[in-house]
Amino acid sequence: MTEIEKLDKIAINVESHKLLKILLSENPVLEEILRNSKNETEVVIGVRSWIEKTLKDRKAAFKFYHMKHPTREHFEQLEWRDYAIIRILDYIDHAGKEYPDLNLRGEIAVSNPLRLIWLAVNKGTGGAKPGFFRDMIELFRQLRGEMEQQLPSKEQVEEWMERYPSGLDPRIIQLRAENKLRIINILIKKLDQGKIESRKYRFSPEENYEEKLRKVNEWWEDYHFHLHFAVRDPDLVNEMLDFSLDPDTMKILKDAEAAGIPFFVNLYYLSLLHVRVPYFAIGADLAIRYYILYSKKLVEEFGSIVAWEKEDKVEPGKPNAAGWILPSHNNIHRRYPEVAIMIPDSMGRACGGLCSSCQRMYDFQSGRLNFNLQSLVPDEKWPDKLARLMEYYEKDTQLRDILITGGDAFMSSDRTIKNILEAILKMAQGKKERNKSLPEGKKIAEIVRIRFGTRLPVYLPQRVTLKLANILKDFRSRALEIGISQFLIQTHFVSPLELTPAAQQAIQRLISAGWIVTNQLVFTSAASRRGHSVKLRQVLNDVGVLPYYTFTVKGYMENNFGFAPNARVVQEQLEEKVVGKIEEEHYPAIKEFSSDPKHMSENIEALRRFADLPFLATDRNVLNLPGVGKSLTFRVIGITRYGRRILEFDYDETRNHSPIIHKMGKVIIIESKSIHEYLSQLKELGEDAKEYNGLFGYSIGQTEHRMPLYDYPEYEYKLDKEITNLEI
Point out which residues bind ligand SF4 (CB under 6 A). 351, 354-355, 358, 360, 407-408, 455, 492
Number of Cβ within 10 Å of residue 268's Cβ equals 26
492 vs 676, which CB is nearer to ligand SF4? 492
Rounded to a whole number of angstroms, the minimum distance from the CB of residue 407 to ligand SF4 is: 6
Q: State the DSSP string of 440-502.
A: TTSBPPPP-EEEEE--HHHH-GGGS-HHHHHHHHHHHHHHHHTT--EEEEEE----GGG--HH
455 vs 644, which CB is nearer to ligand SF4? 455
Instruction: Report the 3 state secondary structure along 571-584.
Output: HHHHHHHHHHCCCH
Rounded to a whole number of angstroms, the minimum distance from the CB of residue 63 to ligand SF4 is: 40
Angle between helices 28-36 and 113-123 (to 10 degrees): 70
The residues near 484 (Cβ < 8 Å, ≥ 6 apart) are 428, 447, 448, 449, 450
Map residue 99 onto helix, strand or coil: strand
- The residue among 335, 446, 480 whose CA lies nearest residue 720 is 446
262 vs 430, which CB is nearer to ligand SF4? 262
- Whether residue 143 contacts residue 85, with contact meaning beta carbons closer than 8 Å, is answered with yes
CA distance 334 to 48: 43
CA torsion angle for 259, 265, 271, 272 (degrees, to 10)? -80
Regarding beta strands 620-625 and 645-650, do their DSSP bridges make them parallel or antiparallel, or are they unpaired? unpaired
**Which amino acid, residue 362?**
Y
249 vs 524, which CB is nearer to ligand SF4? 524
460 vs 632, which CB is nearer to ligand SF4? 460
Number of Cβ within 10 Å of residue 96's Cβ equals 12
Farthest-apart Cα atoms in the chain, separation:
92
Rounded to a whole number of angstroms, the minimum distance from the CB of residue 625 to ligand SF4 is: 18
643: left (phi over 0), alpha (psi -120 to 50) or beta: left
17 vs 360, which CB is nearer to ligand SF4? 360
367: left (phi over 0), alpha (psi -120 to 50) or beta: left
97 vs 360, which CB is nearer to ligand SF4? 360
91 vs 364, which CB is nearer to ligand SF4? 364
CA distance 59 to 657: 31
N residues, the chain: 728
Rounded to a whole number of angstroms, the minimum distance from the CB of residue 592 to ligand SF4 is: 31
Q: Can you point out the beta strands (E) in 527-632?
A: 546-552, 620-625, 629-631
408 vs 652, which CB is nearer to ligand SF4? 408
CA torsion angle for 439, 444, 449, 455 (degrees, to 10)? -170
The residues near 38 (Cβ < 8 Å, ≥ 6 apart) are none
What are residue 401's phi and psi, to 5 degrees? Answer: -140, 130
Residue 442: is it exposed, middle or buried by C-beta count within 10 angstroms (0-12/13-18/19+)? middle
Rounded to a whole number of angstroms, the minimum distance from the CB of residue 231 to ligand SF4 is: 15
141 vs 492, which CB is nearer to ligand SF4? 492
* DSSP label of 305: P
Vertex 553: Cα angle to 652 and 495 (nearest 5): 110
Rounded to a whole number of angstroms, the minimum distance from the CB of residue 350 to ligand SF4 is: 8
- The residue among 513, 511, 502 whose CA lies nearest residue 470 is 513
491 vs 658, which CB is nearer to ligand SF4? 491
212 vs 455, which CB is nearer to ligand SF4? 455
Rounded to a whole number of angstroms, the minimum distance from the CB of residue 412 to ligand SF4 is: 13
- The residue among 573, 695, 575 whose CA lies nearest residue 645 is 695
308 vs 593, which CB is nearer to ligand SF4? 308
Rounded to a whole number of angstroms, the minimum distance from the CB of residue 534 to ligand SF4 is: 22
DSSP H stretches of helix in 350-437: 361-365, 382-395, 414-436
Map residue 56 onto helix, strand or coil: helix
324 vs 364, which CB is nearer to ligand SF4? 364
Rounded to a whole number of angstroms, the minimum distance from the CB of residue 348 to ligand SF4 is: 10
Q: State the DSSP string of 509-537.
A: HHHHTT-EEEEEEEE-TTTTSTTHHHHHH
Rounded to a whole number of angstroms, the minimum distance from the CB of residue 514 to ligand SF4 is: 24
Rounded to a whole number of angstroms, the minimum distance from the CB of residue 488 to ligand SF4 is: 16
266 vs 486, which CB is nearer to ligand SF4? 266
Measured in whole angstroms, the distance separating CA 47 from the mean position of its chain's CA atoms is: 38
| Cα distances (Å, whole numbers) of residue 422 to 21, 234, 278, 430, 446 | 70, 41, 48, 12, 16
Map residue 699 onto helix, strand or coil: coil
Rounded to a whole number of angstroms, the minimum distance from the CB of residue 669 to ligand SF4 is: 20
80 vs 371, which CB is nearer to ligand SF4? 371
Rounded to a whole number of angstroms, the minimum distance from the CB of residue 165 to ligand SF4 is: 23
Rounded to a whole number of angstroms, the minimum distance from the CB of residue 499 to ligand SF4 is: 16
CA distance 537 to 526: 16
- Whether residue 563 contacts residue 671, with contact meaning beta carbons closer than 8 Å, is answered with yes
Rounded to a whole number of angstroms, the minimum distance from the CB of residue 134 to ligand SF4 is: 32
Rounded to a whole number of angstroms, the minimum distance from the CB of residue 410 to ligand SF4 is: 10
